[in-house]
Amino acid sequence: MSGGKTLSQPRTRIIGGSQAPPGSWPWIVNLQLNGALMCGGVLVDSSWVLTAAHCFAGSQNEQYWTAVVGEFDITKADPDEQVMKANRIITHPKFNPKTFNNDIALVELSSPVVLSERVMPVCLPSDPEPPTGAPCLVAGWGSLYEDGPVADMVMEAIVPLLSQSTCKSALGKQLLTNTMFCAGYLSGGIDSCQGDSGGPLVLQDLTSGRFHLFGITSWGDGCGEKGKPGVYTRVVAYKDWILSEIHKLHLFLQTLLDLLQRADDYVRDKIDQSFFTKSLPQLVEHVYSTSVKTRTRRQTLNTVCPGVAELAQQVLVTKEMYKWILNIPPSNLSMNFQE
C-alpha cells in the first residue's frame, strides 16, 4: 500500500508526470526527518506548513524535523532555498492511523520564511468545491515509479477529480470517508507516489489566476495502478481547524463575545444610545477600512491571496482595539458589571 498506508514507511504516495518549471510551485515544502526527505507539505502562512498527519508516525519530535521552502532540485542548494526548523507539530486530534481519516497536520516553523516570487503561501480553498472532472495539479519529489527512488527535481501532474461514488467503487466504500476524495485516472499511469504524501493538490481559478489548495496527498493502493486513483484529504473540511490553530481565533473571539455580552446591559444603561446608532457603526467602518489599507501595504506580491493572511490582519486589528480586555487578569474574567 502506498501513500503512507504502511505507517512504518510514511515516505509514500508523481508517476507519469513531468518536471515542473522552477519556481512554479512557490508553496511546496520539502519536509525532512533527520535531513532526509520524508514528506511533502504546503505553505499556508509565512510560519505554517500544512501536511499529512501520517507523516509523523515515525517521530513527532520537532527537533528532528526541518522544512525546506523555495527548493526545486534536492541535489543542490537553490537560490531561494530556506531551511527552517520545526517549532511545533500539530496533528489533527481525531487522526486515525488505521483508516487515515483526518489525515492532516500543521507544522509551525521556528521563524517566518522570507516571502518572494518563489516562496509564498497557497490560497486556502474557496466554496464551492470544484466539480467532478476538474483538472487539478499535484506535485512533489516522490518516486517516479512504485518503490523507486525519489525524484531529484519537483515533478508535477494533472489529475482530474473523481466523484465520490466512482472513488468508493474503485477503493471500497468502507475505506473512503467524507473528508477524503479521489483524483486521477482509472486507466492508471498518472498518480502521486512515494515521497509525495502531505503535498498539495491545487486548482487554478481561471478568473483570478490564483491557485487554491483543495487536497493533501494522503494514500493510495499502489502508484498509478489501473482502477486505483490517489486519495487526498479534503482541505475545505478542515479550514476552520486550520485557522483556529494558526490564529487561535475562535478562543479569542469567544472570550471577547462573552465579555461583551456580560457588559452589554451595564453599558447600555450608562452610555447614550447615540453611541450604538452612530458612533459604534462609524468605529467599525474605520476598523475595517484601516484593516484593508494595512493589508494592502503588506502585500508586496500581487499573487498573495486573501485567506489566512487577511484573517490574521483582522485579528490583529481586533486585538488592538480590545487590548484592554486581554490585560484583565484571568481571575477577574468572571467579574460582575456592577456599580
Strand stretches in the chain, DSSP E: 18-19, 28-33, 36-45, 48-51, 65-69, 82-91, 105-109, 135-140, 155-160, 180-183, 200-204, 211-219, 230-234
Of 2, 46, 47, 54, which residue is the catalytic one?
Answer: 54
Closest CA to 68 of 93, 32, 19, 44: 32
Q: Give the whole-angstrom CA distance, residue 200 versus residue 51.
A: 8
Q: Reply yes or no on whether 250 is catalytic.
A: no
Residue 65, SS3? Answer: strand
Q: Reply yes or no on whether 143 is catalytic.
A: no
Which DSSP state fits 331?
G
**Secondary structure element (H or E) that encloses residue 249, with its range:** helix 249-270
C-alpha cell, 183: 483524483
* Cα→Cα distances 262→87, 266, 271, Å: 37, 8, 15
- Give the total residue count for the chain: 339
Of 197, 218, 221, 247, which residue is the catalytic one?
Answer: 197
Q: Tell the burial category of 109 from Cβ atoms under 10 Å away from its Cβ (0-12, 13-18, 19+).
A: buried
Using left for φ > 0, alpha for ψ between -120 and 50, and beta otherwise, residue 224 falls in: left
Q: Give the whole-angstrom CA distance, residue 102 versus residue 336.
A: 41
Of 103, 191, 196, 221, which residue is the catalytic one?
Answer: 103
Q: Give the whole-angstrom CA distance, residue 134 versus residue 162.
A: 8
Q: Which amino acid is at 149?
A: P
CB neighbourhood size of 138 (10 A)? 28
Q: Reply yes or no on whether 73 is catalytic.
A: no
| 79-83, Cβ contacts within 8 angstroms, sequence gap of 24 or more | 80/23, 80/116, 80/118, 80/119, 82/113, 82/114, 82/119
Q: Annotated catalytic sites, by residue? A: 54, 103, 197
